A and B are shown apart, each in its own frame.
Chain A
């Protein structure tokens, strides 16, 4: 088995709702993500899927418990620091890109994420050939629009760009938060296909939240179900391959 990349131990999160009462979203959750895992995450609304992502990315701090990355305790590390090794693609295509900057400018920012943003000229032209090549793989005409501002792209192109930007510098962990949910069925399937290709060919460790049971079954080597702040189902390998849509529907019906 591969070695563990991220380990969450007894992680709980408490948030105050609008009336001031505190509620637990994650309840002593335990999860070990191994290097190269492509995990699909299922769960009903309010189960804590997004909170799980926020805790891993650092947007919400764990109230109790620890999070370790490569055996290093990152429980208290800031979200900004974690962006150096954790990438995230959101559901809303607008969240991942800068609309008034061009496609190439957006890609260059993503390329620079590990480096500091220095006072040296940006040398955009030096990277154009590279950008054309990687956008061509997307097969949606993005390579023809490198000099257009992102705001004028279609939602599908914009989300494909968000995905490219999140992976252009291979992160240690990729978080996909229903990243194809806002797209039409055809575009969504296209991006899902690309995602799978990129994640598997790069042995990219990834977590993908989805409400699409078929996607959850088709893609990835592991499937987890979140319910009421805990992981209630965790299947890997052959067990996952044998799992059917009916099994999952029966499983959800039992709550």
Chain B
């Protein structure tokens, strides 16, 4: 039982990354590699600050701010510097690695015996692992609610249009460069915030914790899409949270099958590749037709 609760809790807090990446990957229509740097940046910032006695809530806000700054750098390199987005993201990610080493003053830093948002007095009253479920639910409700509001404003619509068709957006007076930079800043702020949360849950920050993050974040987006199909924008955000939990179950299952935790990145990549291949596989094996076949043939 507690292992399932743990997976749900993990799924909820990791969903923050999926939501952050959704803004760039699905709305602006590109893969932003800087998240592999901003995730450990958020973790490092929060852990270092908490380690130095800063209030953990403030530390998480600072982490989000650091993420936004990194997003700004990628955004400027991409829009003003005309560097292809993939390379711009890799440049930021590489630079952040060194910055993280400085923030942590080493390769990792532990939060042993420090107050975090997950181990307050109230959290310790909860049954095991329910603290992540509780915090995850609140954080997701705030982020999803905020994003739903934002995307339904005139500004949000202009932001969506920019990713959909920059030429069109520009010709209606939308500054697509500013919108792209805004998207990268918000996305990376959310991902750094997620990093801060996950580091507190793990009890440490490590400079290498960003490796493969983009795959994990993408997995929650893609699994949600494969599982629920065509949804309105609002429900797509909720589907990401569900997809993230589902992804944790898949990992749990795989580990139960006796795989080594060191295989996790390989497994994550395989799970994502399979999810991405689903539409193609459905086409090849005509899964949908087979499922529908009995109905349509008698119609």
A residues sitting closer than 8 Å to B (CB atoms) are 79-80, 83-84, 87-88, 90, 94-101, 105-106, 108-110, 112-115, 117-122, 165
- CB pair A117–B154 under 8 Å, yes or no, is yes
Known: A109-B172, A122-B154. 9 other contacts (CB 8 A): A80-B173, A95-B168, A98-B164, A98-B168, A100-B160, A108-B157, A109-B157, A119-B153, A122-B152
Query: How far is it, in angstroms, between the C-alpha of A124 and the C-alpha of B54 when the chains are bound?
Result: 44
Given A80-B175, A118-B153, A120-B154: A98 touches B165 (CB 8 Å cut-off) = yes
Q: Which of A100, A114, A121, A165 contacts B164 (CB 8 A)?
A: A100
Query: How far is it, in angstroms, between the C-alpha of A226 and the C-alpha of B172 when the chains are bound?
Result: 28
Q: Cβ of B52 < 8 Å from any Cβ of A?
A: no
Q: Is the interface of A mostly helix, strand, loop or mixed?
A: loop
B161 vs chain A, min Cβ distance (A) = 5
- CB pair B160–A117 under 8 Å, yes or no, is no
Chain A residues near B164 (CB-CB < 8 A): 98-101
18 A–B contacts from the bound complex (CB under 8 Å): A79-B170, A80-B175, A83-B170, A83-B171, A94-B165, A98-B165, A99-B164, A101-B161, A101-B164, A108-B157, A109-B161, A110-B172, A117-B155, A117-B157, A119-B150, A119-B154, A120-B154, A122-B156
- CB pair B170–A112 under 8 Å, yes or no, is no
Q: Cβ of B167 < 8 Å from any Cβ of A?
A: yes
Query: How far is it, in angstroms, between the C-alpha of A114 and the C-alpha of B134 when the chains are bound?
Result: 45
Chain B residues near A110 (CB-CB < 8 A): 172
B residues sitting closer than 8 Å to A (CB atoms) are 149-150, 152-158, 160-161, 164-165, 167-175
- CB pair A120–B173 under 8 Å, yes or no, is no
- CB pair B170–A122 under 8 Å, yes or no, is no
Chain A residues near B160 (CB-CB < 8 A): 98, 100-101
Query: How far is it, in angstroms, between the C-alpha of A114 and the C-alpha of B173 when the chains are bound?
Result: 8
Chain B residues near A105 (CB-CB < 8 A): 157
- CB pair A113–B173 under 8 Å, yes or no, is yes
Chain A residues near B171 (CB-CB < 8 A): 83, 87-88, 96
Task: Please give me the residue from chain A that is nearest to B175 by CB atom.
Answer: A80
- CB pair B153–A120 under 8 Å, yes or no, is yes
- CB pair A97–B165 under 8 Å, yes or no, is yes
Chain B residues near A98 (CB-CB < 8 A): 160-161, 164-165, 168-169
Query: How far is it, in angstroms, between the C-alpha of A50 and the C-alpha of B170 when the chains are bound?
Result: 18
Query: How far is it, in angstroms, between the C-alpha of A128 and the C-alpha of B119 when the chains are bound?
Result: 50
Given A99-B164, A100-B164, A101-B161: A121 touches B172 (CB 8 Å cut-off) = no
Task: Please give me the residue from chain B that is nearest to A78 by CB atom.
Answer: B175
Query: How far is it, in angstroms, between the C-alpha of A95 and the C-alpha of B152 when the chains are bound?
Result: 23
Closest 9 CB pairs of A and B: A98-B164, A117-B158, A83-B173, A113-B172, A98-B161, A117-B155, A117-B154, A98-B165, A113-B173
- CB pair A117–B168 under 8 Å, yes or no, is no
A80 vs chain B, min Cβ distance (A) = 6
Task: Please give me the residue from chain B that is nearest to A88 by CB atom.
Answer: B171
Chain B residues near A117 (CB-CB < 8 A): 154-155, 157-158, 174
Query: How far is it, in angstroms, between the C-alpha of A121 and the C-alpha of B171 when the chains are bound?
Result: 22
- CB pair B152–A121 under 8 Å, yes or no, is yes
Query: How far is it, in angstroms, between the C-alpha of A17 and the C-alpha of B158 when the chains are bound?
Result: 34
Query: How far is it, in angstroms, between the C-alpha of A112 and the C-alpha of B152 when the chains are bound?
Result: 14
Chain B residues near A114 (CB-CB < 8 A): 173
Chain B residues near A108 (CB-CB < 8 A): 154, 157
A106 vs chain B, min Cβ distance (A) = 8
Chain B residues near A90 (CB-CB < 8 A): 167
Task: Please give me the residue from chain B that is nearest to A115 by CB atom.
Answer: B154
B233 vs chain A, min Cβ distance (A) = 9
- CB pair B172–A122 under 8 Å, yes or no, is no
A100 vs chain B, min Cβ distance (A) = 5
Q: Which of A96, A113, A119 contacts B155 (CB 8 A)?
A: A119
Task: Please give me the residue from chain B that is nearest to A108 by CB atom.
Answer: B157
Query: How far is it, in angstroms, between the C-alpha of A105 and the C-alpha of B175 when the chains are bound?
Result: 18
B207 vs chain A, min Cβ distance (A) = 37
Output the residue of B161, B168, B170, B174 with the most chain A CB within 10 A: B168
Given A83-B173, A84-B173, A109-B161: A96 touches B154 (CB 8 Å cut-off) = no
Query: How far is it, in angstroms, between the C-alpha of A215 and the C-alpha of B142 when the chains are bound?
Result: 56
Query: How far is it, in angstroms, between the C-alpha of A83 and the C-alpha of B170 when the chains are bound?
Result: 8
Query: How far is it, in angstroms, between the C-alpha of A80 and the C-alpha of B166 when the chains are bound?
Result: 12
Task: Please give me the residue from chain B that is nearest to A95 by CB atom.
Answer: B167
Query: How far is it, in angstroms, between the C-alpha of A105 and the C-alpha of B153 when the chains are bound?
Result: 11
Chain B residues near A121 (CB-CB < 8 A): 149, 152-153
Output the residue of B168, B171, B175 with the most chain A CB within 10 A: B171
Query: How far is it, in angstroms, between the C-alpha of A115 and the C-alpha of B154 when the chains are bound?
Result: 10
A171 vs chain B, min Cβ distance (A) = 11
Chain B residues near A119 (CB-CB < 8 A): 150, 153-155
Chain A residues near B173 (CB-CB < 8 A): 80, 83-84, 113-114
